[in-house]
Amino acid sequence: MIRGLGAFVLAALVAYALAAVAATQSVLSRLAEMGIEVGLAQRLAATGHDLIGMGSSYLPIIALGLAIAFAAAALLARWLRAWRTALYALAGFAAIVAAHLILNLSFGITPIAAARTLPGLLIQGLAGAIGGLVFVRTSSAFRKNQEFDS
């Protein structure tokens, strides 16, 4: 149980970090289109700022979305064992895309600026998919270690 939780926390952190980094680069690229060039040092500083800055808003949303989606994936994986990896990746993708759609429906706006465009939304979803893969890998590794220990 604790090991599963550890795998989930790692998956959520990886998904969040990738999503936040992608969000920052999206915003900075829109600035560049306006003629506001951002140097490497500023880009790194902005990325670090957002990783911390979005931690109290976006990270809980991603964690909640992944928790629900991974629970659904776990249920489905009982019958579709061969598809376990794909199911978790799909669940991670769907969790983040759904979170953005729900936020948009609730407030009428897009709170995470990077998700305003379809490519931006899909990239955010991709971060969730990678989170799903991380969960499968780490939970499998935990399971193997458990087997060796016993």
Report the alpha-carbon distance of residue 137 to residue 133 in Å, rounded: 6
Site string for another protein, 107-136 (x = CB under 8 A): xxxxxxx--x--------------------
Chain centroid offset of residue 105 CA? 20
Q: Is 38 in the site for another protein (CB under 8 A)?
A: yes
Planar angle of CA 119, 124, 125, nearest 5 degrees: 95
CB of 149 to another protein, least distance (A): 41
Nearer of residues 51 and 86 to another protein, judged by Cβ: 51
Nearest to 136 by CA among 74, 76, 80: 74
Question: What residues make contact with another protein under the rule CB under 8 A?
Answer: 20, 23-24, 27-28, 30-31, 33-34, 36, 38, 42, 45-46, 49-50, 52-58, 107-113, 116
